[in-house]
Chain A
Amino acid sequence: MIVRILGQGRFDVPGADMPAVEQLDAQLTDALDRDDEGAFDSALADLVGLVRHAGVLLPADDLQTSGLVVPHPGSSLSEVRDLLAEES
């Protein structure tokens, strides 16, 4: 699965690591719903770390699109909430 970290590029994450990524994604989502900044910050940091380490950074001239997108590393809960508000 190709996962993009905003501002950092795309990473090809092996299927075997995807359950862990999805679990952290669920924690991040849960923290956002509960408005829990501490849990949000640590879930995001873990998610960024996992994608970076488990995944292989795709070269800049590779033009494959991603299936999942991680917020900018270090984004605050309110920043991500603002980004998601652009959905409508």
Chain B
Amino acid sequence: MSVMKRLSGIVQAKANKALDKAENPADMLDLSYEKQAENLQKVRRALADVATAKKRLELQAAELQGQATKLQDQAKQALAQGQEDLARQALTRRAGLADQLTELGTQHQQVEAQQQQLETTATRLSTQIEAFRTKKETLKASYTASKAQASIGEAVSGISESMTDAGMTLERAQDKISQMQARAGAIDELIDTGALPDALGGGKDDIQAQLDATSQSGQVDSELAALKAQLGTAPAAGGALPSAPDGAPGTTTADPTGPAAGGS
């Protein structure tokens, strides 16, 4: 059987199941009305969730974009200092961010599609509820006339099908929202644990630390050489080179004379 026929069967089955609880046509009308109103509330809540998810994606994208720009600047600075490896490291991280940004862009589009579908559903549902409220009272009033029973049946089937559609649309939207929330949570976690490059604040910015260290290293190297000479130890092989990577932060921190370097 074709996809459209199978789906139709599923929708009808769900619609019938939703109405199984009702004992008589008048109950069905009330039940349908209540379900519709309930669905509309759920759709409105989902719309609020979608708006939150969208905002969160936008904030994350802005954050990652800021990081990408920073890494680009760091790469330039590293190259200017002749530290090609460090520049490469910054650009590699930036490439990782670019992938995340593309991913966030795709998700943003999906969120907007969900938002559009939910808005359509909300509009249709509220029009439907308004129309149905009047209709159900008319139908109930004429319920005693046996010929009205057929039209009640039709009205109920129609409304139940629409409710089922709204329910399925809502469910799909909720699935998408939770997928997005999970992904957004994962990205936040990556940012927090520093698995994503240096995100958030300068605390974990090792590239910046190396850049700063290098810009100071000329001065530090000469101070070190002077101190070592005072202590009678031989200067390190690379100590005389003003911008040599050997003057790495590790060397300065391991040295008990660290405070002198920090004072520069």
Tell me whether A and B are bound partners: yes
On A, residues with C-beta under 8 Å from B are 3-4, 6-9, 21-22, 25-26, 28-29, 32, 59-75, 79-80, 83-84, 86-87
**Is B6 part of the binding interface, using a Cβ–Cβ cutoff of 8 Å?**
yes
Query: How many A-B Cβ pairs are below 8 Å?
Result: 102
CB nearest to A28 among chain B residues = B3
Main secondary structure of the interface of B (DSSP, over half): helix
Decide: B7 and A84 in contact? CB cutoff 8 A. Answer: yes
> Whose C-beta in chain A lies nearest to the C-beta of B172?
A72
Say which one of B74-82, B150-158, B184-192 lies at the interface with A. Answer: B150-158
In whole angstroms, what is the CA distance A21 to B2 when docked?
11
* B 130-166 to A, binary, CB cutoff 8 A, 1 in contact else 0: 1110010000000000000000001101110110010
Q: A80-B3, A84-B3 are in contact. Are A7 and B169 (CB under 8 A)?
A: yes
What are 15 contact pairs spanning A and B, CB under 8 A? A4-B8, A26-B2, A28-B2, A60-B124, A63-B157, A63-B159, A64-B154, A66-B11, A68-B5, A69-B4, A69-B8, A71-B3, A71-B7, A72-B168, A73-B117
Taking a contact as CB atoms under 8 Å apart, the answer to whether B4 and A68 are in contact is yes
A83–B10 touching, CB < 8 Å: yes
B interface bracket (residues with beta carbon within 8 Å of A): 35 or more
Within 8 A of A (CB), among B1-22: 2-12, 14
Q: Is the CB of A4 within 8 A of B161?
A: yes
Would you call B121 an interface residue if the criterion is a C-beta within 8 Å of the partner chain's C-beta atoms? yes
Q: Is B72 an interface residue (CB 8 A)?
A: no
- Minimal Cβ-Cβ distance residue in A for B124: A60
The smallest C-beta distance from A26 to any residue of chain B, in angstroms, reads 6
- Please report the C-alpha to C-alpha distance between residue A9 and residue B127 in the assembled complex, in whole angstroms: 12
B2 touches A6 (CB 8 A): no
A29 proximity list for chain B (CB < 8 A): 2-3
Asked whether, in the complex, the Cβ of A7 is within 8 Å of the Cβ of B121, the reply is: yes
Q: Are A68 and B8 in contact (CB under 8 A)?
A: yes
In the complex, given contacts A6-B165, A60-B131, A69-B4, what are 4 additional A-B residue pairs having Cβ atoms less than 8 angstroms apart? Answer: A60-B128, A68-B8, A84-B10, A87-B9
